[in-house]
Amino acid sequence: MEQQRSIDQLYEQRIKFPDPDYLERYNALVGIDKAKARLTKLLHFMLAPDDLRSWGKRTYPDASSIINTVLARPPLIIISGDVGTGKTELATTIGAYVSRLSKKSISLFPLSLSARGEGRVGEMTQLISDAFALMYDESRRLSKSNGSASGGNILLIDEADALAQSRETSQMHHEDRAGVNALIRGIDRLSDTRCPAAVIMSTNRLSAIDPAIQRRAAEVFVFNRPNFEQRLRVLSELKCFGFDVTQIERLAKVEEGDDITFTYSDLRQRYIPSLVLEAAPDKIVEFEEALSLLSTLRPTPSFNEEV
């Protein structure tokens, strides 16, 4: 029988929280405050259920059955959205904030893309099974005899549609179907054993995710490209260059009316750094230059779910 693979073979890296750098990255995600708050609370109670139970006992002592219903949901969260909308960055950094809230150590395990294997029969299924088995073992060690836990683990599956595509697809290969079945079994095992573990799936193609996996999600978050108010929030950082509110509003309105608008990464990773590099090292950042640069920036093309 083949030996179970190691952490290094199954995951890209192991990120341990608390970590101030990841917390700073989490705090830098502006414009998606409601989604951040909701996702943070959901993940917090998945990994630290005693905190929700304590709230229930203090506030609504007769509502224990409702609290148990909330905690009985599968520990799965799906984040969907177009490219550049911040979903993967949020999934990668959220553990830093949950660690601070729960005052517990949290580890993030991003599943390696090599989990698809090299095409050998049964390989992908075995890799997925090993990944969940290792997650279960790592999480069980954190559980205490009184039902609480000393920490928690997050399994991150980015580009989840590559592994969790719908079994209803007529041209789906048998190996892919078996891989999806392994994913479902892994999620169910974590749910049934109530380990301090959660699974976050991130995808550009929610419609491609198998319905049985979607049904198991405690919540599905859909991230859209930023609207005017959200672009305004991101571009408000430019106040440090002396831009006033009216000028920042003009920048935020540049793309209004276009079919495809800027993503968060367009603004934060392309536009703002380009603006700085246009001025440095011997000029100041001028508003007219900022306006001109933004007018020439092309938004990232929208992801086509039909592809």
| Sheet strand arrangement including 15-17 | 15-17, 105-110, 151-157, 197-203, 76-81, 219-223
- Give the CA distances from residue 153 to residues 65, 73, 77, 182, 202, in Å, rounded to whole numbers and listed in that order: 26, 17, 14, 19, 17
Report the candidate in 120, 104, 128, 160 with the shortest Cα–Cα distance to residue 11: 128
- Return the number of other C-beta atoms located less than 10 Å from residue 222's C-beta: 13
Structure tokens at 78: 């799906």
Residue 158 backbone zone (phi > 0: left; psi -120 to 50: alpha; other: beta): beta
- Domains of the chain and any CATH numbers: 7-223 (3.40.50.300), 228-296 (no CATH)
232: tokens are 């305004």
Over its length of 307 residues, how does the chain's per-residue pLDDT go in tens digits? 455 666 677 887 899 999 999 999 999 898 888 899 999 999 999 999 999 999 999 999 999 999 999 999 999 999 999 888 999 999 999 999 999 999 999 999 998 766 555 555 467 888 889 999 999 999 999 988 776 889 999 999 998 988 888 777 656 667 778 889 999 999 999 999 989 999 999 999 999 999 999 999 999 999 999 999 999 999 999 999 999 999 999 999 987 666 678 999 999 999 999 999 999 999 999 999 999 999 999 999 886 654 4
